[in-house]
């Protein structure tokens, strides 16, 4: 056994030392062919998958699995840092130092003059500090376009609100939602044929306003929608079992009959 492998197996070292050594070993000639082949781009699907697995265990309340899933996500972070280290760009400690400095800078109410701020005030302060830290950065420039659309709508609202561009309360957002629904109705009634382009824009506005309402109520819209989808999926599967169990197919039922079964399932 080489000294390198012995160090990885040495439990007297800190867990962080062991994982960084292990990743370096796996990428070395005496390591693993698959790990040596990977690039930042080839690892992206795994990074996304591991992040969603963390989301899944939290949303489902399976906190006993969170320890393992966070480790899997950390593995991806260490992997990307190892690739950068091999190029001589930076290592994981550089990333950590940048993070620590950033957190200190964005918590002046902790590291500067002590202030008791509400969570909302802390978030708004965070966005203001981010904007001032880089003159070339716009308020919204840090949001990746690859984010899920509902999450992006939530974060855009947070960032705009952080610099004072926001509704005062949920009631004002509800008024905006009513306006957007009315505009969709008017669009449907205005022309003999549906204008897909115009309706797409109006429905987008409605979804954005709905995400803003969730934000004002401190509800994460992506989580709320997934919860609603899980609920619908569970109820629909029960409805489907009843239809199949009757020896018939969906074509044998009227919409009214299916709705009656649906209402029964909801009561259960």
| Angle, helix 221-245 to helix 149-162, in steps of 10 degrees | 160
User: Which letter, b or e, does each residue of 158-174 get, where b requires 16 or more Cβ atoms within 10 Å of its Cβ?
Assistant: bbebbeeebbeeeeebe
Give the whole-angstrom CA distance, residue 188 versus residue 198. Answer: 10
pLDDT at residue 195, rounded to an integer: 84
Strand locations in the chain (E): none
Query: Is 138 a domain residue?
Result: no
Domain span at 255:
224-267
Query: Which pLDDT value is given to residue 136?
Result: 53
Q: Specify the higher pLDDT residue, 87 or 118.
A: 87
Q: Is residue 125 part of a domain?
A: no
The answer to the question of residue 99 being in a domain is no
CA pair distance 264, 234, nearest whole angstrom: 13
Domain final position from 94, 120, 146:
94
Is the pLDDT at 2 greater than 90? The verdict is: no
CA dihedral 40, 223, 153, 122 (to 10 degrees): -90
Q: Enter the tokens of residue 247.
A: 């020896």
Distance (Å, rounded) from C-alpha 142 to C-alpha 200?
26
- Residue after which a domain boundary falls, among 77, 94, 111: 94
Question: Is 60 part of a structural domain of the chain?
Answer: yes
Q: How far is CA 99 from CA 88, 121, 266, in A?
A: 19, 21, 47
Answer whether residue 154 is part of any domain: no
Q: What is the CATH number of the domain that holds 40?
A: 1.10.287.1080
pLDDT value, residue 139? 80
Give the pLDDT of residue 135: 57
| CA neighbor of 50 nearest in space, from 92, 80, 8, 88 | 80
Q: What percent of the chain has pLDDT over 70?
A: 97
Phi, psi torsion values for 54, nearest 5 degrees: -65, -45
From first CA to last CA, the distance across the chain in angstroms is 61
Average pLDDT value over all residues in the chain:
90
Cα 244 to Cα 117, 142, 241, 247, distances in angstroms: 57, 50, 5, 5
Residue 50 in domain? yes
Six token digits for residue 256? 């009214």
Q: What is the predicted pLDDT for the residue at 100?
A: 96
The C-alpha atoms of residue 32 and residue 46 are separated, in whole angstroms, by 17
Asked if residue 21 is part of any domain, the answer here is yes
Confidence bin at 10 (pLDDT 50/70/90): confident
Q: Inform me whether the pLDDT recorded for 160 exceeds 70.
A: yes
Residue 51 and residue 18 in contact, taking contact as beta carbons nearer than 8 Å:
no
Q: Report helix angle 149-162 to 119-133, nearest 10.
A: 80
The gap from C-alpha 80 to its chain's centroid, in whole angstroms, comes to 20
Distance CA 191, CA 179 (A): 19
**Residue at a domain's end among 94, 124, 157:** 94
Q: Which of 19-23, 63-67, 72-76, 139-143 has the lowest mean pLDDT?
A: 139-143
How many helices (H) and strands (E) in the chain? Answer: 13, 0
Asked if the structure places residue 65 within a domain, the reply is: yes
- In the chain, how many domains are there? 2
Query: What are 32-68's pLDDT values in tens digits?
Result: 999 999 999 999 989 988 998 998 899 889 999 999 9
pTM equals: 0.68
Confidence check: pLDDT of 1 > 60:
no
What's the pLDDT score for residue 163?
A: 81
């Amino acid at each position: 056994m080489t000294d390198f492998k012995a160090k990885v197996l040495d439990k007297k070292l800190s867990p962080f030392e062991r994982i960084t050594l292990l990743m370096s070993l796996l990428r070395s000639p005496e390591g693993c062919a698959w790990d040596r082949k990977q690039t930042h781009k080839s690892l992206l699907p795994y990074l996304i998958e591991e992040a969603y697995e963390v989301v899944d265990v939290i949303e489902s309340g399976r906190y006993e699995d969170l320890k393992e899933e966070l480790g899997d996500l950390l593995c991806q972070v260490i992997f990307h840092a190892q690739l950068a280290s091999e190029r001589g760009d930076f290592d994981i400690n550089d990333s950590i130092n940048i993070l620590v400095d950033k957190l200190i800078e964005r918590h002046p109410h902790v590291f500067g003059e002590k202030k008791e701020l509400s969570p909302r005030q802390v978030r708004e302060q965070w966005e203001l500090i981010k904007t001032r830290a880089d003159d070339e950065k716009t308020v919204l420039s840090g949001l990746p376009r690859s984010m899920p659309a509902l999450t992006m709508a939530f974060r855009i609202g947070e960032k705009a609100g952080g610099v004072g561009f926001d509704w005062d309360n949920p009631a004002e957002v509800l008024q905006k939602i009513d306006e957007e629904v009315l505009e969709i109705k008017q669009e449907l009634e205005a022309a003999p044929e549906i204008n897909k382009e115009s309706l797409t824009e109006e429905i987008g506005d409605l979804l954005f306003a709905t995400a803003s309402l969730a934000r004002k109520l401190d509800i994460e819209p992506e989580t709320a929608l997934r919860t609603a989808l899980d609920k619908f999926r569970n109820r629909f599967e029960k409805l489907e079992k009843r239809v199949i169990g009757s020896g018939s197919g969906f074509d044998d039922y009227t919409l009214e009959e299916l709705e009656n079964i649906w209402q029964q399932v909801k009561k259960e």
